[in-house]
Amino acid sequence: MMRVERIVALELDAMPAGLAAELGEAGLSARAVHRAVADALAEDLPEADVTSWATIPADQVETADFVAREDGTVAGLGIAELVFRYVMGNEITVARPVADGTAVSKCDVVLSVTGPTALLLTAERTALNFACHLSGVATGTAAWVRALDGTGARVRDTRKTLPGWRDLEKYAVRCGGGVNHRHSLSDMGLVKDNHVLAAGGVVAAYELVRTRFPGVPVQVEVDSLDQLRELLAVGVDQILLDNMDPATLREAVAITAGRATLEASGGLTLADAAAVGATGVDFIAVGALTHSAKVFDIGMDLRP
């Protein structure tokens, strides 16, 4: 039986090379994924899994299937596999019949793992936590993508992510067909209402960011068409239209006439998506993709 110390003291170089390469191709940081998985396992296993390790013989081997309990879009299956590999080492065989970003149906098997039964049960909940939450983000994002189909607008996420999960959640948004906004406060400027108040005006705030960080892209939030006109006059090329109804959004698109990328934001719901997308905006910002994601129901079933 594997000692718990091996599970909670993982090193980054313990990640299988194939999985590390896969994460890189998916735009995920291997270090961020490793940290998330290692922290989750340490949280669940401060010591032994007392139930599984006491009741199941060490030499008992079975196959467990991850089964979708509903229709949706999966994400995080490679991360779930990593959980099992960290807990079980080379003692397992893994099959992933579907890839992240695949639309699945209820009762589809999305991941299968064969190995020591006790360790399958030890890793079960941690692996499911990753797969269920990230598949929930992907499934919710895919619903927005379908709602916007034919409008030309794309759904985009925000920084409203679970602490420590940003890489993972933004990856799940991509799996669902959405687009990532900035990853951090450092890679893009976003001038919002409080910045405008502090700087003394929407143009003043923009120009301060542009002067101090000339190589960084800047988006500016506006809540009126007058502010929009001011920004277009000084060449701002990314503008966030905050809490505007579809009629006002259409007017903003007409005023802009292609001179800037426009993103609609503020309390939007899935029911609003088609009407907002039809106004001609380029993006719709939806914090709910990550901050209110409904868990996608996946269960782990041992084969009879």
What residues are annotated to the active site? 125, 160, 192, 221, 242
Neighbours of 293 (CB within 10 A): 23
Backbone φ and ψ for 299, nearest 5 degrees, come out as -120, 155
DSSP label at residue 296:
P
DSSP label at residue 295:
P
Instruction: Give the HSE-up count for residue 179: Cα atoms under 13 Å, Cβ half-sphere.
Output: 11
What residue ranges in the chain does DSSP mark as E strands?
A: 61-68, 72-73, 93-95, 103-104, 109-116, 154-156, 189-191, 218-222, 238-242, 261-265, 283-285, 298-302
Of 173, 148, 149, 147, residue with least CA distance to 160: 173
Strands 61-68, 298-302: pairing kind: antiparallel
Place of tokens 């401060």: 46
Q: Which amino acid does the sequence have at 36?
A: A
Residues 6+ apart with CB under 8 A from 229: 255
Of 125, 162, 126, residue with least CA distance to 39: 126
What is the C-alpha separation between 189 and 209, in angstroms, rounded? 7
What residue ranges in 43-181 does DSSP mark as E strands?
A: 61-68, 72-73, 93-95, 103-104, 109-116, 154-156
What is the C-alpha separation between 142 and 139, in angstroms, rounded? 5
